[in-house]
């Protein structure tokens, strides 16, 4: 059963899991992909609950997100999904169907067209309300050197959280 929760009720658990990975899923028409994210945050901007995610231009997910303008984030807080997170963080959806390869269940979202990953416990459904390409000159030297040595910068997507729920 999926129990609706406030967007920030499990923010602590989300932020604790994020460095270990969560799944960012996007569906554009019949094209479906999920990738591992380790950076992002939850907040409150423009009088809306917001999920901020960062997606590199080089990612297949970027191509889908540019068209879909919505995404889901599925978080394994009670389930060990290290293997799946590692796989989805190193393989491209251009080349492989990650859902089929890993036996991941694409469960329909409550509000958006993009599904959530059924094996996860905590889910956020988001609609993009703003996006911003990173400005390389505005990035501190230490972050530029540490996180972008090859210049593969992110686009920051601000998604209004339109549904949040946990499996019970």
CATH, residue 126: 2.30.110.10
Q: Is residue 152 part of a domain?
A: yes
Q: Are 53 and 38 in contact (CB under 8 A)?
A: no
pLDDT tens per residue, range 39-58: 999 999 999 999 999 999 98
d(CA 65, CA 72): 11
Q: Is residue 168 part of a domain?
A: no
Q: Tell me: pLDDT of 33 over 90.
A: yes
Q: Is residue 80 part of a domain?
A: yes
d(CA 127, CA 163): 10
Q: In this predicted structure, what is the pLDDT of residue 167?
A: 92
**Cα dist. 22→37, 43, 108 in Å?**
5, 17, 18
pLDDT confidence tier of residue 88, bands split at 50, 70 and 90: very high
User: Burial level of 52, CB count in 10 A (0-12/13-18/19+)?
Assistant: middle
Nearest to residue 98, comparing CAs of 21, 1, 26? 26
Q: Is residue 167 part of a domain?
A: no
Q: Is the pTM of this model over 0.85?
A: yes
10-18 average pLDDT score: 95
Q: Count structural domains, the chain.
A: 1
φ and ψ at residue 96, rounded to 5 degrees? -150, 145
To the nearest whole number, what is the mean pLDDT of the chain? Answer: 95
Q: Tell me: pLDDT of 126 over 90.
A: yes
Q: Tell me: pLDDT of 25 over 90.
A: yes
Q: In this predicted structure, what is the pLDDT of residue 91?
A: 86
Q: In this predicted structure, what is the pLDDT of residue 168?
A: 86
Q: Which domain holds residue 127?
A: 2-162
């Amino acid at each position: 059963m999926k129990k609706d929760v406030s967007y920030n009720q499990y923010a602590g658990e989300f932020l604790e899991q994020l460095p270990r990975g969560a799944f960012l899923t996007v569906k554009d028409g019949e094209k479906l992909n999920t990738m591992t994210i380790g950076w992002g945050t939850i907040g409150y901007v423009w009088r809306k609950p917001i999920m901020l995610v960062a997606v590199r231009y080089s990612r297949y997910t970027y191509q889908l997100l540019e068209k879909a303008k919505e995404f889901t984030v599925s978080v394994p807080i009670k389930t060990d999904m290290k293997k799946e997170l590692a796989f989805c963080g190193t393989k491209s959806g251009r080349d492989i169907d990650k859902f089929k390869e890993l036996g991941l269940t694409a469960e329909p979202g409550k509000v958006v067209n993009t599904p959530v990953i059924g094996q996860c416990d905590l889910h956020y459904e988001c609609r993009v309300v703003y996006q911003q390409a990173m400005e390389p000159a505005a990035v501190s030297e230490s972050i530029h050197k540490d996180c972008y040595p090859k210049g593969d910068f992110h686009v920051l997507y601000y998604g209004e959280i339109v549904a949040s729920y946990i499996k019970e």
